[in-house]
Amino acid sequence: MNRRIFPLLPLLVLAVALAILLYRILLGEALYWGLPSLQFVPWRDYAVEMLRNGELPLWNPYNGAGAPLFANYQSALLYPLSWPSFFLPTAWAMSLTAALHLFIAGAGMFALLKRMGANLTGAGVAGLGFGLCGYLVARLGTFPMIYAAAWLPWLLWAVYSHMALRKRYAAIWFSVFTALLLLAGHAQLAWYSLTLAGLFSVWPSFNKRVNWKVWALLAIAGLIGVGIASMQLLATGELLGLSQRNDGVDFAFAMNFSFHPFRAFTFLNGNIFGTPADGSYATAGAYFEDAAYIGLIPLFGAIAALWGWRSRRKTDPLAQTVLFWLIVAIAGFIFAMGANTPIFPFLYERVPTFDLFQAPVRWLLWTVMALCILAGIGVTWWGRSMRLKRWAKRLMAACTAAILVGILGMLAGGNSINTLTPSLFRALLIIGVIGLCAGFLTLRQPERASPQYVRWSAAVFIVVALDLVVANWGLNPTVNASFYDRRVPQIQQPSQGYWLSQSEDNLKFSRYFMFDDYRPAGEHLEAFRASNLPNLNLLDRASLFNNFDPLLPDYFAAYRDLLETYQGYGGLLRAAGITDMFSADGLTSLQNDARQAYWVSAACWHDADESLIAVLRQPDFDPQLRVELSGEGGCDTPQSAESAVWSASLNGTNFEIQANSPGWFVITQTYYPGWEARLDGETVRIERANLAFRAVAVPVGTHRLEFSYSPLWLMPGIAITSLSLLCLVILFLWTKKLTPYSTEAPDYAG
């Protein structure tokens, strides 16, 4: 093999492995299982339409009685690498971008290990282990998580370059990577990544001969990155502060998806308990949340790094980082176990940020990251000693036995995939084969100066990639991109549908998206596409009161909870403008007079939501006779009402109103800051109506009422983002003019 190609060989192998694993995306298909179809593609599809119509994608009027769209952090509309989806077919471009981020993640790990001093083989194994790890590949459909996780190794690369090697330009890259991380759309992984980068920058071994100016420059660079993302952060911050999560999440929700210690066996083989790709997944929980397999050879490499640390820690700069990564791996694993240990519950109660997110298992990002770095270190130390060869022969003997047991077990178990046993035997067979390859490679390793070493390294890369491709095969079902094409909606304006949460969950998780078997959704694609599950409805521009979104405006969430717990639905449904109910059996018209907007002659004021809710719960509550308002005042007597003629636009609503007496015009869209109302051109006050909606006082006569959404964060966000981009340019020019740091780069010896 040409030695000029060899430095790029790991990245080439990674690209080929991803092309094989995700070849259907390259052929034009798109991801659909779970969140791509229920959240990410519908959000982006609607945003694209708004931009093409010359409007900013600030508001989604079709879900949740109207909800912020741009402020929805996971929509990631400002994330630069997602912009191709605004020009190319949306669903396909988003899927292709997600796949690209697996390559970015692997390339980042490769660059980090090279920067830390690992040899090409070690860096290549680390890059393949991270870019193809189960943590990322199994979550590929959760686009924002992949976008965010991909920048973690690059963030650490910038920290190491700046702190350990004294390269000032790395501070600029730290700004860029921080901004990309924060714009990627996943707050949880962004927080974990920034926390890890911060800990890495203050690791005690840095403290020797590191002055405050080095840390100050890195901190300034980080603040510039935050500033670049401020337009998104301000919008999401407002939504978070007004959402059902403004005080954190409750304990049960926070402990959802805790990693069970028994699943640590999946570090030996990702499918040791089966895989949902073929329906053989035989344990509780979600495969995509628990997945953390980095490959058997990388795992051996990580163990080798720990084994060799003691003898090398005073002489090898790589060894001087091992303790840090061991601590990170253990901490991530302990946190990931969540409710399965007393540690995370203790942290939930006493340490800020631990109560902000669900799924402690996602802390495995730290563990996977640390293990891949340790793998690169261990493979760099992969030697040719007689002692190692003796151990390799013992490993090969054990793996041969494992292969025989696996084959015999599979033959005895037949072709059944309904029990755990066949999966265990199949995993044992694969472990044996990969272990046998590792032993053989150890015995056949040539001298590093030999021309044969290039081919040997290539064989290592291929075995690692093949192992991970097999482990992750089938975890990302795809569909023809036409699945996302616009269709005639079952519910057309001004009608609005609603799913009771139990019906929604039963259909979603019992018929289509079962965590132990990915196949049913693919077998019922047309039925799923036509189901109007939230937020599929957004693809067809049909209105649903439901909103499948992590952050919901708190007033809307409270009203939704009221609907779920109260059985006298008539008045509550009409007050929300709900005309139809969905269930697993289809659409049922309620035959009521619910409207998206209406005029009422009377209002009753409530100084506390408790009294307002008490009225909404009354069986004779009629929203079209009297509106219940939040504030101080009395109660009017209802009079006869005149109807309103109205028409809706994409980002607001305009009404022509004829009123024979003073009254209130109610619109069943979520009460949320940033909305403005103009009556005959004059700004008027919007009141919170019927707990969650909007109302405007209307005098006698013919009037034109216009609603528009102009959020308070928009102009400050644009200003701060623009100023931060200017600061990034200034930082670039400033660092170029400075004299270099001392060329004598400190090591990690503490």
Residue 584 has a CB neighbour count (10 Å cut-off) of: 13
* Contacts of residue 369, Cβ cutoff 8 Å, sequence gap at least 6: 130, 152, 153, 196, 328, 332
3-state secondary structure of 663: strand
pLDDT in the model for residue 413: 65
Q: Of 616, 743, 585, which is closest to residue 689 (Cα–Cα)? A: 616
The ranges assigned to domains in the chain are 6-31+71-383+445-471, 597-606+617-667+675-709
Q: Of 141, 145, 184, which is closest to residue 37 (Cα–Cα)? A: 141
pLDDT in the model for residue 645: 47
What's the average model confidence in pLDDT over 282-302?
Answer: 93
pLDDT band, residue 651 (cuts 50/70/90): very low
225 has a pLDDT exceeding 90 = yes
pLDDT tens-digit series, residues 476-531:
999 999 999 999 988 888 889 999 999 999 999 989 999 999 999 999 999 999 99
pLDDT band, residue 416 (cuts 50/70/90): low
Q: Which residues of 279-296 are buried (b: 16+ CB within 10 A; e: fewer)?
A: bbbbbebbbbbbbbbbbb
Q: Which helix (DSSP H) or strand (DSSP E) does residue 347 occupy?
A: helix 343-350
pLDDT tens-digit series, residues 668-706:
999 999 999 999 999 999 999 999 999 999 998 889 899
The amino acid that residue 77 corresponds to is L
Mean pLDDT of the chain: 90
- Helix intervals (H) in 229-295: 230-241, 251-254, 287-290
**560 vs 313 pLDDT, higher one:** 560
d(CA 179, CA 222): 8
pLDDT band, residue 747 (cuts 50/70/90): very low
Running DSSP on this structure, what letter comes out for residue 625?
Answer: T
What's the average model confidence in pLDDT over 443-465?
Answer: 92
Bridge partner list, 499: 582
Most confident of 157-166, 208-217, 667-676: 667-676
pLDDT band, residue 448 (cuts 50/70/90): confident
Tokens describing residue 128: 């393949």
